[in-house]
């Protein structure tokens, strides 16, 4: 995990390798890791998210995001999820609405993320 500054914003960037993340406890652990830093944006590579995260009916994504929201942290899911979005209308709608509101973000690549932050 590293902290970088982009466009005047401190980003807490989760390593691309490591245990899969999906639970509310995982979200709380990420929040805890940001204490003592200026980072309020947590960037999680798609590869670190449990595949179940993208099956909305189980509530994992909603619970994960809600925990970050409760602690006033923004989540950026960084990476290509086009296949998952194409396979699920509910995920498509969730990603679209999340990106439309703009507090949290699903971005296919770093350039898109930086442009939208």
Longest dimension (CA), the chain: 40
Coil, helix or strand at residue 15: coil
Query: For residues 30 and 21, what is the distance between their CA atoms, to the nearest angstrom?
Result: 10
Give the 3-state secondary structure of residue 65: helix
For residue range 10-22, list pLDDT tens digits in order.
999 999 999 999 8
In the chain, how many domains are there? Answer: 1
CATH code, domain carrying 87 = 3.30.750
What confidence tens digit (pLDDT) does each residue in 20-44 have? 998 999 999 999 999 999 999 999 9
CB atoms within 10 A of CB 111: 9
**By residue range, what is the domain housing residue 107?**
2-116
């Amino acid at each position: 995990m590293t902290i970088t500054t982009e466009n005047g914003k401190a980003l807490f960037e989760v390593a691309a390798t490591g245990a899969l993340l999906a639970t509310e406890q995982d979200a709380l652990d990420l929040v805890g890791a940001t204490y003592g830093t200026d980072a309020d944006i947590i960037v999680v590579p798609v590869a670190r998210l449990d595949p179940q995260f993208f099956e909305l009916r189980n509530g994992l994504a909603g619970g994960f995001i809600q925990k970050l929201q409760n602690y006033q942290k923004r989540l950026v899911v960084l990476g290509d999820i086009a296949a998952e979005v194409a396979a699920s209308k509910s995920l498509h709608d969730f990603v679209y609405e999340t990106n439309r509101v703009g507090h949290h973000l699903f971005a296919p690549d770093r350039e898109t993320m930086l442009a939208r932050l």
